[in-house]
A = this chain, B = another copy of it.
Amino acid sequence: MSEEKTYHMSPAEFRRFGYAAIDWIADYYERVESLPVLSPVKPGDTRAALPAHPPQQGEPFDAVLRDVSERILPGITHWQSPNFFAYFPANASGPSILGDLISSGLGVQGMLWATSPACTELETHVLDWVAQMLDLPPRFRSTGTGGGVIEDSASSAALCALLAARERATGLASNARGCRERLTAYTSSQAHSSIEKGAKIAGIGRENLRLIDVDANFALRPDLLAQRINEDRQAGCVPFFAAATVGTTSSNAIDPVPEIGRICREQGLWLHVDGAMAGTAALCPEFRHVQAGLEFADSYCFNPHKWMFTNFDCDCFFVADRAALIQALSILPEYLRNQATETGAVIDYRDWQIPLGRRFRALKLWFVIRHYGVEGLQHHVRRHVALAQEFAGWVRLDPDFELAVLPPLNLVCFRHRGGDGFNQALMDRLNASGALFFTHTRLQDRLTLRFCVGQTHTERRHVEQAWRRIRQTAAELARG
């Protein structure tokens, strides 16, 4: 019996293989800068390198780790490369990776307070810390009527906000009988696709989400919002929800939340504010204007997994009235009943999110805040913004290039004056080189290049080198 094979990794093996995995990651970060940022593989390449059938017998850990290097790594686009300027960043850091490791090791379920009290309480506590660090309105703290929770993404936060708003508007009738009323929601034409996806999921419908036009800076026009709400009311619709964006994905445009907020309050709409990337900037008092008007918001989210060195998934979602959210999402089957829940003395985060189960996500955020301190986080946010502004300055001085819009923070939208085809070719050639990676959008109906400075390890030299390569490649292309 004691001879029986357990198949498990023993604690001694776990130590040995664990050190190897840690070394693998440390080695990776030491060389990631030298790897082609955008993976050059073609569709099917990775699968072709993998056996068609699962192994019948277990394999040694060394072989698995070697396959990560040899078969997986070529198919990786390196989001943790300092030469990654694409999309919005999804940055990570040493303390975050290790906090997440401890979370995997503990392997607790945080669906209820009772299923692991520290998982819930650390989350509530750290989100109150974050509210202090950003100087959010007090009603977003757990000590008031609201509080924070970690969602997997801003998409899920927006969906939760939509559902809470839907139930508030219908007196919980939608939950009971389905979404019967002609509810209408509002956001800008530049808002993230997750708002539309949420409207579809929640049974509101894409056509009942009004995409309000924007001004020259791609920010929502409050006058048009007010007008549309009135028109909809006159047509018998029930306006119930608006989503404002602080830092749109296309251009980092900042919607005028104070004006939008006043309209929403007047009209009884739930206001959700999405600061997925730009929200982190509010760590620094000089950028805290991005939070103007949040006192009117019913919910707010931003993603430490974008720009605060905390690896995915970590979206901080704050609500001003937690009861509204919980009423919309709560369930309580017999097998989850427990004394702590019944007494109402605790938070059960199951009722603050779409899924039931949840991992101990607060650990990594706690590790990050304690490792960097507020000071260290501010340092990097300032550095990234300064680098992006410097880059924008170079663009402005170059007669061949132009800015599409003045960059509010760390995202620069620009283009070569050679037209859409030229810009597409420029981007494709540079990305294929592997030296850097950036992406595009369309602004003013023209292809526009996006250069976002937010990767943990991006330094001045990476930004300088990127600009040098962009100019060189443009010159080569212009010569034909």
Contacts and interface: CB of A to CB of B under 8 A. Distances in A.
Given A102-B21, A175-B206, A329 B197 contact: yes
A335 B87 contact: yes
A15 interface: yes
Interface stretch (A117-125, A218-226, A318-326, A462-470): A117-125
Q: How many copies does the complex hold?
A: 2
Interface stretch (A25-33, A265-273, A286-294, A389-397): A25-33
B116 A76 contact: yes
A442 B17 CA distance: 44
Interface string A351-364: 00011111100010
Given A96-B104, A207-B176, A72 B39 contact: no
Given A115-B77, A205-B175, A335-B439, A26 B7 contact: no
Contacts of A401: none
Contact of A331 (B12, B96, B193): B193
A133 interface: yes
Contact of A346 (B43, B94, B205, B334): B43
A contact patch SS: helix
Contacts of A329: 197, 201
Contact of A177 (B90, B95, B208): B208
B117 A59 contact: no
B18 A376 contact: no
Contacts of A333: 192-193, 249
Interface stretch (A46-54, A227-235, A239-247, A255-263): A46-54
Most B CB contacts (10 A, CB to CB) among A25, A129, A340, A456 go to A25
Contact of A118 (B39, B56, B155, B176): B39
A203 B206 contact: no
Contacts of A369: 54-55
A19 B54 CA distance: 31
B155 A178 contact: no
A15 B22 CA distance: 6
A213 interface: no
A373 B59 contact: yes
Contacts of A93: 8-9
Contacts of A72: 118, 122, 363
Contact of A371 (B64, B180, B196): B64
A106 B122 CA distance: 26
Contact of A249 (B26, B250, B312, B335): B335
A345 interface: yes
A116 B39 contact: yes
A107 interface: yes
B115 A91 contact: no
Nearest to A359: B312
B356 A193 contact: yes
Given A77-B108, A121-B47, A372 B7 contact: yes
Given A11-B30, A93-B9, A334-B442, A107 B79 contact: yes
Nearest to A90: B109
A25 B101 contact: yes
Given A155-B357, A178-B203, A203-B203, A92 B105 contact: yes
Given A163-B201, A203-B174, A22 B22 contact: yes
A229 B19 CA distance: 58
Interface in A280-337: 305, 311-313, 328-329, 331-336
A132 interface: yes
A248 to B, nearest CB: 10
A121 B46 contact: yes
B374 A55 contact: yes
A39 B360 CA distance: 15
A91 B118 contact: no
5 contacts: A8-B457, A21-B101, A73-B118, A163-B201, A193-B331
List the 5 shortest-distance A-B pairs measured between CB atoms, nearest first.
A203-B203, A75-B118, A9-B94, A178-B205, A18-B22
